[in-house]
């Protein structure tokens, strides 16, 4: 098989599986994928010399990013977390990630890969959902681990040194979905916005505030737990409490309408937030009922043209449930 001259979107694909499972799942709707590898070192010095006494490599760090469109197929949240309703339980999931590269003479990622990267023992470290007024709704994840291996000339008879069989190419080039989620797919009836006293002046049908973008994000800030007698961390645990942020950008016709008064002991109140998409997506993101307004950004409308935008930023701690997609 001739060497590739480049890699483009049609000939590389992402697959995920639970660590320890033999079943790989191709991730549909992927828009971008990236890998960052860091080799960390620890320096030791000694009295009597300026030069480094020892420069020891500690632990490689592997970080992957995947962004995909919301299209009614399983979400990255589902792939990267385990079953359950509570956030701590879902975040115990450990999974493997494979990035496969195929011949640049093909039009789809099918058959045998010419190169593949296998990342084992990965954990979800960040999840972000974005629904803009222009373009399509997306979710983006950052995953972290310590092991990555590349292989070339991949076929079914080859096994990874650090575990598992190589997934076949799943994409024939003819895959389609009925639609991808766009602005009209936001369910204004069943979504719950943080409106009212101490919240944003928007109910889903306000004529003064035209909702432009919704962004929901959670950073789990994984930290390594080590033990004596073992070099590799035996787990990566989330750093609690976990702040879950939500931002609502609007075009306003009458300012942000939020007073900030020093004579009041309470300017903001806990608000319920739930973002629901219409069928066939049926994605529901529930942030509970204790989301508080943290800041308001008012800007735009300058002399070069454009509209005044107001962004209302809320956050809660440890409340995030995602279903459907």
Per-residue pLDDT of the chain in tens (325 residues, 90 and over written 9): 558 899 999 999 999 999 888 888 889 999 999 999 999 999 999 999 999 999 999 899 999 999 999 999 899 999 999 877 789 989 999 999 999 998 899 888 887 788 889 999 999 999 999 999 999 999 999 999 999 998 876 554 344 433 445 555 555 555 566 689 999 999 999 999 998 888 888 766 665 678 999 999 999 999 999 999 998 899 999 999 999 999 999 998 888 888 888 999 988 899 999 999 999 998 999 999 999 999 999 999 899 988 999 999 999 999 999 988 7
Which residue range(s) make up the domain with 104? 9-39+50-170
Residue 247 lies in a domain: yes
Question: And the tokens for 211?
Answer: 């909702």
In angstroms, the CA 248 to CA 303 distance is 24
Final residue of a structural domain among 170, 196, 213 = 170
Whole-number pLDDT of residue 130: 98
Residue 191 shares a structural domain with residue 162: no
Note the pTM of the prediction, 2 decimals. 0.90
Question: And the tokens for 280?
Answer: 């066939």
Residue 158 shares a structural domain with residue 295: no
Whole-number pLDDT of residue 198: 84
Residue 112 shares a structural domain with residue 247: no
Final residue of a structural domain among 141, 170, 199 = 170
Residue 21 shares a structural domain with residue 126: yes
Residue 138 shares a structural domain with residue 166: yes
CATH code, domain with 16: 2.30.110
In angstroms, the CA 241 to CA 239 distance is 6
Whole-number pLDDT of residue 164: 47
Cα diameter, the chain: 75
Question: Among candidates 134, 42, 28, 15, which has minimal Cα distance to 75?
Answer: 28
Residue 277 shares a structural domain with residue 160: no
Residue 303 lies in a domain: yes
Residue 178 lies in a domain: no
The reply to whether omega before 241 is within 30° of 0 (cis) is yes
């Amino acid at each position: 098989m001739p060497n590739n001259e480049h890699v483009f979107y049609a000939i590389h694909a992402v697959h995920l599986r639970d660590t320890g499972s033999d079943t790989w799942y191709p991730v549909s709707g992927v828009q971008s994928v990236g890998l960052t590898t860091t080799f960390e070192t620890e320096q030791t010095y000694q009295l009597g010399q300026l030069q480094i006494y020892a420069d020891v490599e500690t632990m490689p760090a592997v970080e992957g990013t995947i962004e995909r469109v919301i299209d009614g197929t399983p979400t990255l949240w589902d792939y990267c977390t385990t079953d359950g309703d509570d956030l701590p339980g879902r975040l115990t999931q450990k999974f493997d990630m494979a990035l496969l590269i195929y011949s640049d003479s093909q039009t789809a990622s099918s058959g045998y890969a010419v190169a593949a990267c296998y990342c084992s023992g990965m954990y979800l470290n960040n999840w972000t959902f974005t629904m803009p007024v222009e373009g399509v709704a997306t979710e983006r994840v950052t995953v972290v681990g310590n092991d990555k291996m590349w292989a070339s000339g991949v076929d079914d008879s080859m096994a990874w040194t650090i575990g598992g069989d190589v997934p076949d190419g799943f994409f024939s080039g003819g895959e389609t979905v009925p639609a991808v989620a766009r602005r009209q797919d936001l369910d204004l009836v069943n979504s719950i916005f943080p409106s009212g006293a101490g919240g944003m002046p928007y109910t889903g049908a306000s004529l003064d505030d035209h909702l432009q973008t919704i962004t929901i994000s959670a950073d789990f800030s994984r930290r390594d737990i080590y033990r004596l007698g073992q070099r590799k961390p035996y787990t990566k645990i989330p750093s609690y409490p976990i702040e879950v942020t939500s931002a609502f950008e609007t075009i306003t016709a009458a300012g942000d309408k939020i007073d900030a008064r020093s004579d009041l002991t309470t300017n903001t109140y806990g608000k319920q937030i739930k973002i629901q998409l219409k069928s066939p997506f049926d994605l529901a993101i529930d942030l509970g009922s204790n989301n508080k307004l943290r800041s308001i950004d008012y800007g735009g409308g300058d002399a070069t043209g454009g509209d005044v935008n107001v962004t209302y930023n809320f956050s809660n701690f440890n409340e995030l449930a995602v279903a459907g997609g």
